[in-house]
């Protein structure tokens, strides 16, 4: 059964797909310049690159200059609780570049974010606390970090049906490649909302914060054309975490 | 609703503010990386700023069936942990006294024994706090990961460290701010009501170590338990902030003793040492009836009548204070 939040989310996404402006706190974005993926063409183009994946992992590598950027509109998830105030739509779009190189798919994301939330966190020491003079301290209890992710189906679509945009579903599990400004890159798997789990694996990803914008690269598997992808961005300054985030609709990989 | 419900009663008239419970808990459960700022059991001076600061005023809990918003406490609200420069002083020839780093600006029970004025007389008492293991836990409802669950066999509320992703909706939702974030593990933690001890027939560490013998532990639905008798039969123990809607299973015998030295022969309510309004703020309007009951029982005892209620509150031995049901112990022992 759909909860109230599900219904809001679905109607918000429907409106987003239809290219219609929804209520400001749900999906609102002004139609950005012409490069915004239009409802008729929700396609992400890829470019073959002569550069190696290692080079393309550098966010400011020259090799990216030859790869055209596509501007993808971002939507805001509705509040999780009825008593939460709606969040402002502070990040309206993400610029996406995709390059195929040496049987890898390299993803390059750029988005404006005037606040960099990327403070380092002490790693969990590998030795037992009782063997050390000093234990690591929690540095803050209320901060959240900037992050980005790409989600795609774990396996080919059944009868052409794509998984739910809400973290997949039981019939359509999804993989998520997630990068967090403080905690690094990690692979996740999900079969619907609330089921996301870390697989324990990491993947190559780099990030650069410059002039009020993040540039993040991720090395993805050689995903086939036709596969749907969805992008997400979290803004630490807005205490984003979990489903409290910016997201794109499903975009079809060319 | 769980099949059974463990509960704790704390008699605030008996608390010395010695923090032995706090240390017992800390050494047992939160002496790990990332946990220095968290005290699953804390003792705070009341009236006072509380731990974390202003926890009773910032939000959370239920109202009209809706979770109420709340900011997340900052590290300074808990009290940023500090370290002392023993090495420099003891081994590196530093001349000055041992100093803490960072400079302490706040901490748990920072306003110890400050209290407030009642007329021109100072008053304060100690409020001991653990997770309330609520019947209607706001933390459990707030978690989108279903990482928090309430055990059917004994009503203890636990936080699954495998499922937790550190989103902290639970911390915002808890009106008592009794869930803590460990940034090193990226997960939240809370009082576990010493369930591994209870499963072995041992009472909670905070209760076992209390020199004031002020804690009572048992099943609230066990008619023979001290907690059941104090809450439901004698009706002298109340939950904290009942209006928050979470139905706590930790209850307090409100502080009403000692009387003021000048009011011999007068009722505590006629000339109270602690303003009744403050106790009503903490425990609701019913606290007045509880104090009337307690005072009447005290008067009966002072007139030579045996009082079962007061004998129970004195709680001379562990058998009087704690009733850990054998079935719950045996079931778990067979697993473990």
Q: Which long-range contacts (CB under 8 A, 24 or more apart) does B88-92 make?
A: none
In B, what residues contact A, Cβ < 8 A? 31-37, 66-69, 71-75, 77-78, 80-81, 83, 142, 144-146, 165-169, 171, 180-186
Question: Is A79 an 8 Å CB contact of chain B?
Answer: no
Tokens of B148: 């928090």
**pLDDT above 50: residue B250:** yes
Shortest Cα–Cα distance, B146 to chain A (Å): 7
Four-CA torsion B239, B243, B247, B249, nearest 10 degrees:
-10
Shortest Cα–Cα distance, A1 to chain B (Å): 16
Q: Which residues contact A139 (CB under 8 A, 6 or more apart)?
A: A119, A121, A122, B75, B183
Question: Is A120 an 8 Å CB contact of chain B?
Answer: no
Helix ranges (DSSP H) in chain A: 4-18, 53-56
Determine the average pLDDT of the residues in B283-296: 96
Q: Assign B270 a pLDDT band (cuts: 50, 70, 90).
A: confident
Closest-approach residue (CA) in chain A for B147: A194
Q: Are A248 and A168 in contact (CB under 8 A)?
A: no
**pLDDT above 80: residue A40:** no
Determine the average pLDDT of the residues in B187-196: 97
**pLDDT above 80: residue A128:** no
**pLDDT above 70: residue B96:** yes
Determine the average pLDDT of the residues in A174-184: 96
Q: For residue A249, which of A59, A52, A26, A56 has the smallest C-alpha distance?
A: A26
**pLDDT above 80: residue A163:** yes
How far apart CA A186 and CA A189 sit, in angstroms, is 10
Q: Are B79 and B107 in contact (CB under 8 A)?
A: yes
Site from A134, A141, A144, A193 to mutate, B interface, most B CB atoms within 10 angstroms: A141
For B178, other C-beta atoms within 10 Å of its C-beta total: 27
**What pLDDT, on a 0 to 100 scale, did the predictor assign at position A15?**
42
> Cα dist. B283→A6, B53, B178, B268 in Å?
38, 19, 18, 17
How far apart CA A220 and CA A177 sit, in angstroms, is 8
Q: Assign A13 a pLDDT band (cuts: 50, 70, 90).
A: very low
- Does A17 or B147 have the greater pLDDT score? B147
* Residues of chain A contacting residue B183, judged by C-beta atoms under 8 Å apart: 121, 138-141
Q: For residue B56, which of B266, B200, B241, B195 has the smallest C-alpha distance?
A: B241
Report which DSSP code applies to B198: H
Mean pLDDT is lowest, of A127-131, A216-220, B152-156, for A127-131
**pLDDT above 90: residue B240:** yes
Site from B34, B54, B245 to mutate, A interface, most A CB atoms within 10 angstroms: B34
Determine the average pLDDT of the residues in A57-77: 96
**What pLDDT, on a 0 to 100 scale, did the predictor assign at position B330?**
55
When CB atoms are compared, the residue of A83, A137, A138 closest to B67 is A83
**pLDDT above 60: residue A32:** no
Angle, in degrees to the nearest 10, between helices B276-283 and B287-302: 120
ipTM value, please give it.
Answer: 0.90
Tell if the CB–CB gap between A80 and B169 is shorter than 8 Å: yes
When CB atoms are compared, the residue of B34, B69, B167 closest to A138 is B34
**pLDDT above 90: residue A63:** yes
Condensed to tens digits (0 to 9), the pLDDT of residues A138-159 reads 999 999 999 999 999 998 877 7
Q: Do the bridges between strand A47-48 and strand A93-101 make them parallel or antiparallel, or are there none, so unpaired?
A: parallel
* Residues of chain A contacting residue B30, judged by C-beta atoms under 8 Å apart: none
When CB atoms are compared, the residue of B72, B146, B184 closest to A194 is B146
Q: For residue B75, which of B175, B161, B181, B168 has the smallest C-alpha distance?
A: B181
**pLDDT above 70: residue A38:** no
Q: Assign A133 a pLDDT band (cuts: 50, 70, 90).
A: confident
**pLDDT above 90: residue B112:** yes
Question: Is A183 an 8 Å CB contact of chain B?
Answer: yes
When CB atoms are compared, the residue of B36, B167, B185 closest to A135 is B36
**pLDDT above 90: residue B39:** yes
**What pLDDT, on a 0 to 100 scale, did the predictor assign at position A118?**
93
- Does A114 or B330 have the greater pLDDT score? A114
Q: Are B39 and B108 in contact (CB under 8 A)?
A: yes
3-state secondary structure of A137: coil
Shortest Cα–Cα distance, A135 to chain B (Å): 5
Closest-approach residue (CA) in chain B for A121: B184
3-state secondary structure of A107: strand
How far apart CA A225 and CA A68 sit, in angstroms, is 17
Determine the average pLDDT of the residues in B164-192: 97
* Residues of chain A contacting residue B69, judged by C-beta atoms under 8 Å apart: 81, 83-85
Question: If 0-12 CB within 10 Å is exposed, 13-18 middle and 19+ buried, where does residue A62 land?
Answer: exposed
Shortest Cα–Cα distance, B78 to chain A (Å): 9
Q: Which residues contact B207 (CB under 8 A, 6 or more apart)?
A: B8, B21, B215, B216, B217, B321, B322
**What pLDDT, on a 0 to 100 scale, did the predictor assign at position A39?**
44
What is the b/e burial string over B29-65, where b = at least 16 CB atoms within 10 angstroms of the residue's CB? bbebbbbbbbbbbbbbbbbbbbbbbebbebbbbbeee
Q: Assign B278 a pLDDT band (cuts: 50, 70, 90).
A: very high
Site from B54, B63, B144 to mutate, A interface, most A CB atoms within 10 angstroms: B144
How far apart CA A133 and CA B90 sit, in angstroms, is 15
Condensed to tens digits (0 to 9), the pLDDT of residues B128-143 reads 999 999 999 999 999 9
Tell if the CB–CB gap between A138 and B31 is shorter than 8 Å: no
Shortest Cα–Cα distance, A204 to chain B (Å): 21
Determine the average pLDDT of the residues in A64-86: 92
In DSSP notation, A16-65 reads HHHT----TTTT-----STTBPPGGG-EE--EE-SS-HHHHTSTT-GGGG
Tell if the CB–CB gap between B183 and A129 is shorter than 8 Å: no
> Cα dist. A182→A143, A242, B57 in Å?
11, 15, 31
Q: Are B104 and B76 in contact (CB under 8 A)?
A: no
When CB atoms are compared, the residue of A84, A135, A239 closest to B33 is A135
How far apart CA B329 and CA A125 sit, in angstroms, is 35
How far apart CA A42 and CA B66 sit, in angstroms, is 38
When CB atoms are compared, the residue of A81, A124, A193 closest to B33 is A124
Sign (positive/negative) of CA torsion B62, B66, B71, B75?
positive
3-state secondary structure of B203: coil
- Does A13 or A254 have the greater pLDDT score? A254
Cβ-based contacts under 8 A for chains A and B: 91
Helix ranges (DSSP H) in B121-255: 138-142, 169-173, 195-198, 205-208, 226-228
| Residue A32 backbone zone (phi > 0: left; psi -120 to 50: alpha; other: beta) | beta
Determine the average pLDDT of the residues in B108-116: 96
Shortest Cα–Cα distance, A253 to chain B (Å): 30
Closest-approach residue (CA) in chain B for A243: B144
């Amino acid at each position: 059964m759909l909860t109230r939040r599900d219904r809001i989310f679905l109607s918000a996404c429907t409106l987003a797909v239809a290219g219609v402006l929804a209520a400001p706190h749900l999906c609102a974005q002004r139609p950005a310049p012409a490069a915004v993926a239009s409802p008729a063409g929700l396609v992400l183009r890829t470019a073959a690159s002569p550069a190696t994946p290692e080079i393309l992992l550098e966010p400011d590598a020259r090799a990216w200059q030859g790869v055209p950027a596509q501007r993808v509109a971002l939507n805001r998830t509705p509040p999780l609780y009825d008593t939460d105030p709606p969040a402002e739509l502070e990040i309206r779009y993400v610029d996406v570049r995709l390059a195929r190189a040496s049987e890898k798919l390299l993803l390059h994301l750029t988005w404006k974010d005037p606040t960099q939330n990327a403070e380092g966190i002490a790693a969990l020491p590998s030795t037992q606390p009782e063997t050390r003079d000093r234990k690591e301290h929690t540095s803050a209890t209320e901060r959240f970090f900037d992050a980005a992710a790409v989600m795609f189906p774990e396996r080919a679509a059944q009868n052409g049906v794509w998984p739910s945009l809400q973290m997949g579903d039981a019939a359509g599990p999804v993989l998520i490649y997630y990068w967090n400004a403080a905690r690094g890159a990690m692979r996740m798997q999900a079969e619907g909302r609330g089921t996301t789990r870390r697989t324990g694996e990491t993947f190559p990803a780099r990030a650069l914060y410059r002039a009020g914008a993040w540039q993040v690269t991720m090395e993805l598997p050689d995903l086939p054309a036709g596969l749907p992808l969805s992008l997400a961005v979290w803004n630490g300054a807005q205490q984003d975490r979990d489903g409290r985030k910016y997201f794109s609709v499903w975009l079809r990989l060319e | 609703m769980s099949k059974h419900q463990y509960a704790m009663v704390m008699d605030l008239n008996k608390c010395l503010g010695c923090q032995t419970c706090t240390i017992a808990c800390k050494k047992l459960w939160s002496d790990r990386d990332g946990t220095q700022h968290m005290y699953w059991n804390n003792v705070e001076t009341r009236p006072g700023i509380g731990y974390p600061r202003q926890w009773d005023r910032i939000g959370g809990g239920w109202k009209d069936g809706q979770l109420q918003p709340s900011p997340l406490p900052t590290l300074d609200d808990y009290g940023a942990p500090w370290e002392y420069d023993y090495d420099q002083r003891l081994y590196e020839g530093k001349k000055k006294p041992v100093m803490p780093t960072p400079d302490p600006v706040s901490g748990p029970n920072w306003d110890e024994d400050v209290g407030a004025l009642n007329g021109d007389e100072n008053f304060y008492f100690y409020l001991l706090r653990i997770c309330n293991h609520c019947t209607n836990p706001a933390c459990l409802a707030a978690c989108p990961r279903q990482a928090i669950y309430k055990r059917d066999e004994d009503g203890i509320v636990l936080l699954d460290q495998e499922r937790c992703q550190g989103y902290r909706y639970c911390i915002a939702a808890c009106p008592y701010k009794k869930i803590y974030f460990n940034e090193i593990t990226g997960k939240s933690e809370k009082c576990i009501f010493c369930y591994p001890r209870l499963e072995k027939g041992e009472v909670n560490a905070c209760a076992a170590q209390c020199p004031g013998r002020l804690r009572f532990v048992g099943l609230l639905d066990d008619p023979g338990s001290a907690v059941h008798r104090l809450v439901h039969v004698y009706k002298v123990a109340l939950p904290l902030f009942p209006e928050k809607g979470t139905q706590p299973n930790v209850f307090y015998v409100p502080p009403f003793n000692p009387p003021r030295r000048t009011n011999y022969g007068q009722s505590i309510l006629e000339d109270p040492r602690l303003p009744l309004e403050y106790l009503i703020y903490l425990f609701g309007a019913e606290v007045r009836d509880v104090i009337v009951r307690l005072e009447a029982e005290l008067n009966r005892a002072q007139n030579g009548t045996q009082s079962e209620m007061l004998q129970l509150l004195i709680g001379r031995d562990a058998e009087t204070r704690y009733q850990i049901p054998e079935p719950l112990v045996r079931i778990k022992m067979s697993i473990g």
